[in-house]
Structures are given as structure tokens and as C-alpha cells.
Structure 1
């Protein structure tokens, strides 16, 4: 072993020992939430006309989907004022087709969306919380107010949940297969 390799080995070993001693104590839940919360996504305004909009993804390795700006999936096949990037629908690893040349393709499992999306909103908030694995979307129009909380269970990997609180004259929710 030459001089440079032994110096590098000593430097790497020193960093490893220091990092082990620094991270030896487990942080409490509040500290862990604060650390993980640095990656949260907070949106304070709905998509503007013509704006490219990236849906928020939730998944657990088996079940997953992207959620649009109104807390559910985007209305399939409908033109939007904004430009959604990607598809918003549930997919499941065990819901696939084996196609030509032995290629596997995930098939859409389900879609849940508003019958119509709001034309304008007065208040808007969308917050993806990585510590507890939720997406919370709140918005208020002149006719109704909505709060949608979604999560996909990390342990029971076939379970997803939605809590929808609506007040006022809210459009119907459509559940279907894309």
C-alpha cells in the first residue's frame, strides 16, 4: 500500500468513526419530524393559466399515485387551464400486463377526481408532509370549501386513504377506472 492510499484510508476511517460517535444518540420524535420536515413541499397558490404543474407523489413501493392541485386526481381526458406533468391515477405493482417481448407494464388501477375543477379559488394550500406521509390540500371558492387529506400506508402496502371534508355546494366526486 503506498503513502497516498494509507492516508486516504486513515481519513475515511476517521470520518466514519466521527460520524458514528456523532449520530450514536437517537433524536427524539420532535427533532426527527423537524429534520424530515425540511423536505416538505408547501404550495400557497393554485396553478396559474398555462403553468406546468407537477403532481405530488405518494407511494410505498407497491401502491402509489400522484395527486393533482385539487387534492384528488386530475379529471382524465379533460383540458385544464394548467399543464399537468404526468398522470394522476392509482397504480399497483400487482396490476400489470405482460406484453410483447416479455415486457411488463403497470395498468392504471383507479381514479378519483372532482366532476369539475374549480374555475377560481380565494384561498389555497397544498402541503406534502414527509414525516407522516400525507398530502393535505385546502381550497376555498365562492361556492364551497374543501380539505382533502391523503395517505398511502407504509406497512399495509395495499391500503390508501382519503379524508374529504367539503362545505357548501361542492361538485360530486367521481370514482372510476381510467
Structure 2
């Protein structure tokens, strides 16, 4: 079978998929939950390369659209990387994360702001793939131990991210002391 090229973006279908989760919630069966997670993950996977290409062309420095696109792409990769097993109690939270991510990516795809010639594509790719430790705020380099973590947040149930498993506990404690001094 030959490759027929990229799959076209069907904004109406994608919008319906995330709208059903975000604004028309229901109590799905386990099979419905898994099917909807797969569908939304597919939409995220479809939109990532499209928004990645647009991000390199974004010229709206004052509104920060390029920075927003990079942030959303980082979050999209994190969301796809943290897929709880079917039947997991946190699977419903993951469904909401997927729906929010799809909505952000589709909005960027539909309304990217002023576009120009692509620039900084390599830098964008590096920024999107980079992992930052939530404990010490330093990049997690290749070969360093890390784990997924949920950090406390008053505004939500928690912020998902990464943390070093071996090297940042002392630095994180120093930063907490510095923040208390302010």
C-alpha cells in the first residue's frame, strides 16, 4: 500500500470530539473511555506536526503566539507520553488532558497569527523535546535519571511534569528556602 500523504485536518470532527468531553460530559463505560482517549490521542498526533510547521512560521512576537505554540507542543508530547493503562482510575483525567490539548492545538492551527518564512525550526524542535525538572527547574539531560511527577498546585489537582531521580534534591531545597525569604 502506498503512502497517500498527510491526513487532512477535519476541524469539525476534531472540535466535536473535544467538545463532547469538555462541555457535554457523560459517565462513559470503560470501553467508551478507552475509545475516546484513542480518538483524541490520534487528533493530537495529527495536529502536532501541523502546529510544529506553523510555529516556525509564526511572526507574532508581541502576542507571543510562537511561545504559546511551543508551550502547547511541549504539553502535547507530555500528554501523549503519559497514557495511563486502560481501566486505570486516572484515565478520566487523562481524557480531559487530551481534550484540552486537542483544543489548544486546533486553535493554534486555525488562528496562527501572522506567518512568514520558516525560521528556527531546529530550535523549536529542541525546545519541544526538552524536559525540565519541576524540582530544580534545570533541563533533564540525556542519560540523567528522571520520573514523571505531579506537583502540587492550588489552582488545580496538580501539575504533571518531570523531576530528576537523583541529582536535584539539594538544589530544590535551596530554591524553596530562597522563595520563603522573599
TM-score category of the 2 structures, normalised to the smaller one: under 0.3
TM-score, normalisation: structure 1: 0.25
Bigger fraction of residues in strand: 1
TM-score scaled by length of structure 2: 0.24
- Structure whose CA Rg is larger: 1
